[in-house]
Amino acid sequence: MVALRERFETIRRAELERLDFKLSALPPDARARVEEITHLIVEKLLLTPTEQLKSLSDADTVGAYSEVLTRLFGLAEDEERRKVEPFARPARRGPR
């Protein structure tokens, strides 16, 4: 969960950096609030999975869950591949 938390935090910071030109127009207290809100969102997203893993008593299940999280979120990839690219919306594939 530590690696997953670090990954989410890296993504959060990368998106804030990407939006910095927009955020720089805000007063310092508003920028601090954006920082706080985005941090709280990450914490809330990770709360349930963290509690679920902590509640498991079977080491094999914990190991299996940990491996799944590692694979799903690419947590074991080398440092160069883990760099976060700015989010870009996928192009639409026709009318909806």
Residue-wise pLDDT tens digits, 14-43: 999 998 888 889 999 999 999 999 999 999
53 has a pLDDT exceeding 70 = yes
Cα-based torsion angle of the residue sequence 20, 82, 55, 64 in order, rounded to the nearest 10 degrees = 160
What's the residue count for the chain?
96
Residue 42 CA to residue 32 CA, distance in Å, equals 16
pLDDT category, 1, cuts 50, 70, 90?
A: confident
**Tokens at 6, concatenated:** 């670090």
pLDDT digits (tens, 9 = 90+) for 63-82: 999 999 999 988 886 554 55
Give the burial string for 3-12 (b: 16+ CB within 10 Å, else e).
ebeebbeebb
Report pLDDT for 82. Answer: 52
**Closest alpha carbon to 50 in 92, 89, 3:** 3
DSSP string over 25-39: TS-HHHHHHHHHHHH
